[in-house]
Amino acid sequence: MSDPLGFINAELDALKEKGLYRNLRVLQGEQGAEVNYDGKKVLQLSSNNYLGLNTHPRLRKAMIDAIEKYGAGSGAVRTIAGTMSLHEELEQKLAEFKHVGGTLVLQSGFTANMGVIPQVVDDGDLIISDQLNHASIIDGVRLSKAARAVYAHSDVNDLERVLKEKASQYRRILIITDGVFSMDGDIA
């Protein structure tokens, strides 16, 4: 009898042959602007810690104090039983800082894009998206009920062409682009 999951190993082998198999890079120590990787100190250009805040002494102290007071986590997702007073305090301070009626803190940019994009468009709307937008934007667009169109990366002329071609067919149009494209560093 053949292995019913043998196709998985075949797929993995094919990915390795093509140089497409992903190996996780294990970092040693703190993750700041520079990190230790494979015994070498290297500049970190692919993290979410652009400002090095995760090693800032005041933030570390605040995190330690919060762990002492609240524990190491909320114990549940926010929609069930995980919203803590800390969430509300942070959201209130952010709302005051931004001079808006309210804010909602989500755990990642990916979650924000997946949650927000489908809420601001509906049937009869169109989303026009840059060809090289982040995967989280693409997934958020796919989750929406809106029609979709893509324009060539950072090409305002192509965006204008798509707008002229499609504008009259839809109630509202949402144009979505990254600010800084994470895969190549281009700025919109």
User: For the chain (length 188 residues), average pLDDT per consecutive 10?
Assistant: 86 95 89 88 81 88 94 88 92 98 92 95 97 96 98 97 96 95 80
Decide if 133 contacts 151 (C-beta within 8 A): no
Query: Which pLDDT score, from 0 to 100, does residue 66 have?
Result: 93
Q: Are strands 172-176 and 125-130 parallel, antiparallel or unpaired?
A: parallel
User: 109, 155, 105: which is closest to 134 by C-alpha?
Assistant: 109
Query: Which pLDDT score, from 0 to 100, does residue 1 have?
Result: 60
Q: How many CB atoms lie within 10 A of CB 75?
A: 11
DSSP label at residue 26: P
User: 143, 139, 145: which is closest to 125 by C-alpha?
Assistant: 145
- Which residue bears the tokens 């549940």? 76
Model confidence, pTM: 0.74
Decide if 139 contacts 113 (C-beta within 8 A): yes
